[in-house]
Structures are given as structure tokens and as C-alpha cells.
Amino acid sequence: MSDKRNPLSFQLDVSDFLPADESEKQSLVVMRESVSFWKDGFRRLRKNKVAMVSLAVIIFIMIFAFILPAFYPYSYEQQIRGSENLGIMQYSKEELARKAAGEKVFPHFLGTDSLGRDITVRLMMGSRISLLVGLVASAIILVIGSTYGAISGYFGGKIDMIMMRIVDIIYTVPDILIIILFSVTLKYPLKDLAANVKGFAWIETVGVGLISIFIVFSLLYWVGMARIVRGQILSLKEQDYVTAAKALGASHGRIIRKHLLTNAIGPLIVTTTLQIPSAIFTESFLSFIGLGVSAPMPSLGSMASQALNGIRSYPHRLMAPAIMISIIILSFNLLGDGLRDAFDPKLKD
């Protein structure tokens, strides 16, 4: 501590070894919080204007489809006598009389159909079906596809070969034909099941048509997901942390769940999101050709199909579901592209 020390002395300066004070400690703290995978992805997503607008549109449509019908004065199956075939914002004579009497009558924004059902609320319910099919089918595909792909990729060898041959065969089957076939036939055994076996009555509440669509989609569409997941797992399983987990005695299930699938989460999210519009696409096609959910439940496809007969007099009946379905698919496509850019830049083409 003395200042008299010879400047050339090798004697250590003790003050260098004093405990650091607070200000010194502060200067060493990393200023920025570490960026997690999610934060990084969402930051990139937020910068993507197109994706954010699509997300806003999707949320808006979800409110329109899931929440609004509950507060809407008409229901989708309610046939209002005397107000059949109304045009946009038209009222029937009865309703006009009630209006003249000072009563408030809720307008039919998009008119009514030939059975006197309000088209606006039917459009909401149709969008609900489309969204439900897209979301639920994608969730089922995600579960089946990722489990199958992960098992196949993780175990490799003969198991992989057999499992992938099965995938190859399903992949080459013309899916839409088989889907049509299943939709034609599945309704009967499902109805049977709901009526005769205890514990399956819920099938009727959800709707036989909807259930058969879920079954059909999950039977055929998981193969694409399985292939993608398998590819991811094949490269991930060579990583050191997997070897470490194995050395520590982790079970196969734990390694797949905790290490492999969690690290493949980016491609999983992107593939699932891009699956949604294609499921909606197929559902609308099915309901257009007269398969899919059963009447009186509307679907955008069946609404468009019914509107075809009156296209000369009531074009808006066709345009409303047509525009709706296109907007839904477009928003999910764009959101999926945005998610891909944000979470999985490698997949970008």
C-alpha cells in the first residue's frame, strides 16, 4: 500500500486483489436479456407487416365466427316465416309493419335464403365450421404425424424402413378420392356408433359430418407431417445432447419428447399452420360437392353450392361465402409464410 514502492519492483499491487465494488460489478453484467427462441421468432414476426395483418384478420374472423353468433338475434337454423328470399338489408312486410309500429327489428345484412334463414348468421356458422375443421384437423395431424415421424426417425433401421414404406404408399394414394369415399361411407357406422354404443353420444352433438371429416383428414394427411418430422429427427438425434441424455439413462420416450421434438418445434409450427388452409380448402370442396357437415348446419362450401341455383337473382348469396373462404385461406397462407420466415428461416424457398 505504500507509494514508495520502486516502480520496477515485481512486488504485486495488493489493491488489484480487493473485492470488486458495486459499480465494477454492474459494468460486467450483460446488458441485454438473453433472447429465447420464442422471443426471437416473435420479434421477427412482428416486423412482418403482411403476417401481422393476416393475424389480425384471422382474429377478427374468429370473433365473427365463434363469439358473434351467441349475441346475434337470429339463429342459423331459424326459418323466419314471410321473410324468404330477402335481398341485402331488406325487410319483409311483417317486419316493416313491426318497424312502423315502433318496434326495433334487427336488419338482415345479407338478406335471407329461400327458407327464410338469415344469411349473415349462416355465414358466421359456416366460417366457424371452416375454422374448426382447419384447426382441429391440423392439431390431429400434428399429433399423429409428429409421433409417427419421431418414432421412425429415432429408431431408424428396419423400423424406419417399414414405417416409411407405409408412408410412401399412403402418399401415392390419390387422397381426395379416398377422402370422398370415406365421407360417403363413414356417416353410417358413426351414426350407428352414436345411437347404439354408450359413451359415444357426443358424436351426435359434434355432428357426424364433422367427425367423419376429422377422421378422414387425420387418416391421410399426416404423412406429409411425418416425413418432415422424420427428416428433422434424423439430423437432431446425432447431436451431442442426445448422447448425453442417453448416457444419463433417459428413456427413449423422454429423449423424443424433451429433446428431439422440442428442438424441431420451428418446422412443426410452420407445417401445422400451413396445414390449416389446405384442410379448409378440402373441407370447402367436400361440402361444395354435397359431402361434409349435414344440414341444417351451414358450411361455406355448401352455401356456395346452394347459391348456384339462384345465381341470376341473388348473386350476393354466392359472393358472401366465396369471398369469406378466400379471405380465410389467404390469411392463413400469409400467416404461415410469415411464421416460416420468423421461426424457420432454413425452410424459406
Partner 1 sequence: MGGYIIKRVASAIVTIFAVATITFFLMFLVPGGPFLAEKAPSPQTLEALEKKYGLDQPVTVQYINYMKRLVLKLDLGTSLKKRGQEVNDIIRVRFPVSAKLGGIAVLTAVCLGIPLGSIAALNREKWLDRTIMAIATVGNAIPSFVVATVLMYVCGVVLRILPTLGLTSPAHYVLPVISLSFYPTAYIARLTRTSMLDVLGQDYMRTAKAKGLSRFKSLFKHALRNAVLPVVTYLGPLLAFIMTGNFVVERIFTIPGLGSEFISSITDRDYPLIMGTTIFLATLLIVLNVIVDIAYKIIDPRIKLK
> How many angstroms separate the CA atoms of 152 and 283, rounded?
30
Contact between 168 and partner 1 (CB under 8 A)?
A: yes
User: Given the complex with partner 1, which of 92 and 152 has the nearer CB atom?
Assistant: 152
Q: How far is the CB of 189 from partner 1 (least distance, A)?
A: 5
User: Given the complex with partner 1, which of 174 and 249 has the nearer CB atom?
Assistant: 174
Closest CA to 183 of 99, 256, 71, 287: 287
Q: Which of 281, 336, 339, 342 is the binder for partner 1 (CB under 8 A)? A: 281
CB 203 within 8 A of CB 187: no
Contact between 201 and partner 1 (CB under 8 A)?
A: no
Q: How far is the CB of 159 from partner 1 (least distance, A)?
A: 19
Alpha carbon of 125 to those of 207, 286, 300: distances in Å? 14, 17, 9
3-state SS, 1-63, equals CCCCCCCCCCCCCHHHHCCCCHHHHHHHCCCCCCCCHHHHHHHHHHHCHHHHHHHHHHHHHHH
> How many angstroms separate the CA atoms of 52 and 21, rounded?
47
Contact between 115 and partner 1 (CB under 8 A)?
A: no
CB 229 within 8 A of CB 268: yes
- Per DSSP, the three-state class of 112 is strand
Q: Among all chains, which residue has been given the C-alpha cell 520496477?
A: 8
Q: Which of 96, 143, 161, 311 is the binder for partner 1 (CB under 8 A)? A: 311
User: Given the complex with partner 1, which of 125 and 304 has the nearer CB atom?
Assistant: 304
Contact between 221 and partner 1 (CB under 8 A)?
A: no
Contact between 322 and partner 1 (CB under 8 A)?
A: yes
Give the DSSP letter of residue 109. Answer: T
> How many angstroms separate the CA atoms of 283 and 89, rounded?
30
Which one of the spans 97-105, 202-210, 236-244, 314-322 is the region binding partner 1 (CB under 8 A)?
314-322
Contact between 188 and partner 1 (CB under 8 A)?
A: yes
> How many angstroms separate the CA atoms of 320 and 303, rounded?
9
> How many angstroms separate the CA atoms of 153 and 165, rounded?
13
Contacts of 221 (CB under 8 A, 6+ apart): 137, 141, 175, 275, 278, 279
Contact between 315 and partner 1 (CB under 8 A)?
A: yes
User: Given the complex with partner 1, which of 77 and 175 has the nearer CB atom?
Assistant: 175
CB 151 within 8 A of CB 163: yes
Contact between 318 and partner 1 (CB under 8 A)?
A: yes
Give φ, ψ of 227 to 5 degrees. -65, -45
> Tell me, what amino acid is at 219?
L
User: Given the complex with partner 1, which of 263 and 306 has the nearer CB atom?
Assistant: 306
Contact between 308 and partner 1 (CB under 8 A)?
A: yes
Contact between 345 and partner 1 (CB under 8 A)?
A: no
User: Given the complex with partner 1, which of 20 and 311 has the nearer CB atom?
Assistant: 311
Which positions from 239 to 278 touch partner 1 by CB under 8 A, shown as an x/- string? --------------------------------------x-
> Tell me, what amino acid is at 203?
I
Contact between 189 and partner 1 (CB under 8 A)?
A: yes
Q: Which of 185, 243, 251, 309 is the binder for partner 1 (CB under 8 A)? A: 185
> Tell me, what amino acid is at 247?
A
Q: Which of 52, 135, 178, 215 is the binder for partner 1 (CB under 8 A)? A: 178
> How many angstroms separate the CA atoms of 248 and 134, rounded?
41
User: Given the complex with partner 1, which of 147 and 333 has the nearer CB atom?
Assistant: 333
Contact between 203 and partner 1 (CB under 8 A)?
A: no
User: Given the complex with partner 1, which of 167 and 260 has the nearer CB atom?
Assistant: 167
Binding site for partner 1 (CB under 8 A): 168-169, 172-178, 180-182, 184-186, 188-189, 192, 277, 281, 284-285, 288-291, 301, 304-305, 307-308, 311-312, 315, 318-319, 322, 325-326, 329-330, 333-334, 349
